[in-house]
Amino acid sequence: MSVGSLTAKVVLDNPKHIYCGNEEAVTGHVLVRYHSMSSAELFGPLAVSVTFRGRAKSKIYKNNGNNRTIYRGRAPLFSFSKSIFDGPIKMVPNEAKEIPFALSFPGAIQQVLSQGNWDADGRFSIDVGDPLPPTFNIVYHGFAHRFDAFTEYRICTTLSMRGIDIKLPNADDESNSALVPYEQHPTPKSQALPLPKTLNHNVRLQNALLMPEASRPTGFKAKTKALLSSDYYPEYHFDVLTLCPQKLFLGQPITLEIRVQPNDARSTAPVRPDITLSAGVLVSIQAQTVARAERGIFSSPESSGNETVLTLTASSPDLQEPFGKANDWTKVVVTKPIFGVPSGFSTYNILRRYTVKVSFSVLAAGKSTKVEKELSVMILPPVEGEAANGDHGRGGSMAGPSRHVVGDDDAEVLPGYERPPEYGDGHSIDEVGSAAGKMDLRKGKANAVAV
């Protein structure tokens, strides 16, 4: 006859915290509760273990007339188990106990898939020693493409009581587990180089404002002649050079250098007109996600989607001042720091990469010219040491149309790097509680927790 049941739930000490790399331990506890219709105490040997695993999954939807086929891709990243308690336990009905744990992410991917299940493709890679991808989730429903893809890291728990007839929780029940947000290991300072690239845009102006006021046509006849003559008005040529970084770092702003370079050799205007930025500089970060499934009869089914994940405004104190010798014909504009997107990554079945689109207008001789440039970029993890000094704190988010935000809604911060306290190993719940002079397995907290 069963004496009742035990339930267990994994609880993280800081469920909103994003862990960068493996230097910081993931801490929490397994909350074990005893349920029974009688008032009898439960006494016996209890074993509690936790399993920490990471995986990348994709699901591709293909429509063929009225039929839909779903193709799946599964890529395990790592999995390991750890015993966190093995000893006698004594509990009364409805009593709960916390059993602490401290786990660390592995330094790299630990599981390798069979290459025979996947087509060779240089865009996708996952090998032992490659970095773990960041936590990511997308549900994409486009006009011609539909797919789901995610990477996740989860801690599950398993209970056992040898020789006692008691109902135990299902180890495969993910409702009792906890998801751990993750971002890739911080970028070493020696590698935190922006690698700027120059994007060129040529501007040609030709109108009456480029002429001295006394020489401008007046009257219907003169204006008609000017309109019908291609060389009546002088020309002014200049290049707009935008220096844009090819490497972007989470938690850092994007710095752009906009330079105007007059082309006097091609210009016929007697004077140089004032050249200004007519409005702010918009910087859009666009993401492309490619998902694929394991190889079918002929090939690996694949789907992709594009989305704008972040739009920032770049500004500077002298934004409205004309370009000229005083500022070396150059303006440096800066956005707010980048938050809310994961760094770029690639696994066997998911590819995430980014493009930056820079848009602004220059005003000269009464004409506004729109400059719009795109550049493929790499979005990399935070620079090493910057979050550790408390500049950004903690927080962050995942990406995708169906976006799961981790952290405060208004907080634009990165994970902190404060090292968690060390936990001691115990042999039995009652022994540890007695030795500490408390009822808890951890210092200064009650062991029997009412929830």
Output the pTM of the full model.
Answer: 0.79
Look at residue 171 in the predicted model and tell me its pLDDT: 84
> Rounded to an integer, what is the distance from CA 203 to the centroid of its chain?
37
Q: Where are the beta strands (DSSP E) in 235-337?
A: 235-245, 247-249, 255-262, 275-277, 281-292, 302-314, 330-334
| 225 & 100 share domain | no
| 169 & 224 share domain | no
Look at residue 253 in the predicted model and tell me its pLDDT: 96
| 206 & 341 share domain | yes
Look at residue 227 in the predicted model and tell me its pLDDT: 59
Q: Residue 339: left if φ>0, alpha if ψ -120 to 50, beta else—which one?
A: beta
| 170 & 283 share domain | no
Domain annotation covers residue 20: yes
- The one-character DSSP state at 423 is -
> Rounded to an integer, what is the distance from CA 106 to the centroid of its chain?
19
CATH number at residue 257: 2.60.40
DSSP helix/strand/coil, 299 = coil
Cα Rg of the chain (Å, integer): 31
Say if residues 356 and 283 touch (Cβ distance below 8 Å): yes
Label residues 217-231 b or e (16+ Cβ within 10 Å = b).
beeeeeeeeeeeeee
| 149 & 215 share domain | no
Say if residues 245 and 376 touch (Cβ distance below 8 Å): no
Say if residues 216 and 232 touch (Cβ distance below 8 Å): no
Domain annotation covers residue 119: yes
Contacts of 387 (CB under 8 A, 6+ apart): 20, 186, 251, 393, 414, 415, 416, 417
Domain annotation covers residue 387: no
Domain annotation covers residue 392: no
Domain boundary among 161, 183, 205: 183
Q: 304: which 2 tokens?
A: 């992709």
Q: How many domains does the chain have?
A: 2
CA dist., res. 445 & res. 442, Å (int): 6
CATH number at residue 9: 2.60.40.640
pLDDT tens by residue, the chain, 451 residues: 578 999 999 999 999 999 999 999 999 999 999 999 888 899 999 999 999 999 999 999 988 778 888 999 998 999 999 999 999 999 999 999 999 999 999 988 887 665 557 777 888 876 777 899 999 999 999 887 899 999 999 999 999 999 899 999 998 889 999 999 999 999 999 999 999 999 999 999 987 777 776 666 675 665 665 555 556 678 899 999 999 999 999 999 999 999 999 998 999 888 889 999 987 899 999 999 999 998 776 778 899 999 999 999 999 888 889 999 999 999 999 999 999 999 999 998 999 999 999 999 999 988 999 999 999 999 999 998 875 333 333 334 433 333 332 233 333 333 333 333 333 343 334 433 333 333 333 433 333 333 2
Domain boundary among 152, 183, 214: 183
Look at residue 247 in the predicted model and tell me its pLDDT: 97
Domain boundary among 150, 183, 216: 183
Domain annotation covers residue 399: no
Domain annotation covers residue 410: no
Q: Which residue, 221, 222, 198, 201, is CA-closest to 211?
A: 222
| 361 & 223 share domain | yes
DSSP 13-48: S-TTPPEETTSS-EEEEEEEEEE-SS-PPEEEEEEE
315 backbone dihedrals φ, ψ, rounded to 5°: -145, 170
Range of the domain at 293: 189-380
CA dist., res. 257 & res. 199, Å (int): 10
| 40 & 137 share domain | yes
CA dist., res. 237 & res. 235, Å (int): 7
| 75 & 172 share domain | yes
Contacts of 325 (CB under 8 A, 6+ apart): none
| 54 & 171 share domain | yes
| 178 & 246 share domain | no
Q: Which residue, 22, 368, 43, is CA-closest to 186?
A: 22
| 337 & 193 share domain | yes
The amino acid at residue 431 is E
Look at residue 232 in the predicted model and tell me its pLDDT: 67
Domain annotation covers residue 448: no
The amino acid at residue 380 is L
Domain annotation covers residue 196: yes
| 89 & 199 share domain | no
The amino acid at residue 100 is P
